Amino acid sequence: MHGSNEVIHSRENYDLEVLDFKRENVIQLPGLFTRDSIPASRSQIPKQEVADKLMPYNSNVEISILIGNNCTRIVRPRAIVTGKEDEPYGQRSILGWGVIGRVCKSKPESENNKEINVICNKIVA
């Protein structure tokens, strides 16, 4: 696959902390890069109807941070709840529960028509 190279203006930041939803854990993030907007699809955010342990979904909150694998304290699994072999599974981190895998109960209409919008994020710094 070939993609386009695009220069995205950003700056480094080393002074960011995050809190879990219950405000019990404060985590200092490693160095990160900022940008004006984050390309993300809200349809990929699991909601409580998928798993009741997830924090409440608020459509008014902007997606403002993506936490990567360079922050192992956050992404380290603390507990896992599995289903069948090809089903999504729940994973609890220090920040709370998340779902790994496809969580949409039905295919979007565009997918039924074979027109699929795909978002692929890769950042190399």
Q: What is the pLDDT of residues 5-60, one digit of tens each?
A: 778 888 888 889 999 888 999 999 988 888 888 877 888 788 888 778 888 888 89
φ and ψ at residue 12, rounded to 5 degrees: -80, 150
Q: Which residue has the higher pLDDT, 37 or 75?
A: 75
Average pLDDT for 85-100: 90
Residue type, 58: N
- Evaluate if residue 125 carries a pLDDT over 50: no
Residue type, 19: L
Return the pLDDT at 27: 93
Burial letters 63-88, b for 16+ CB under 10 A, else e: eeeeeeeebeebeeeeeeeeeeeeeb
Tell me the C-alpha to C-alpha distance, in Å, between residue 107 and each of 34, 59, 75, 95. 33, 21, 28, 29
Structure tokens at 79: 């507990």
Return the pLDDT at 3: 62
pLDDT band at 118 (very low <50, low <70, confident <90, very high): low
Range of the domain at 36: 1-125
DSSP characters over 101-123: S---SS--HHHHTT---------
Average pLDDT for 88-92: 91
Provide the number of structural domains found in the chain. Answer: 1
pLDDT band at 94 (very low <50, low <70, confident <90, very high): very high
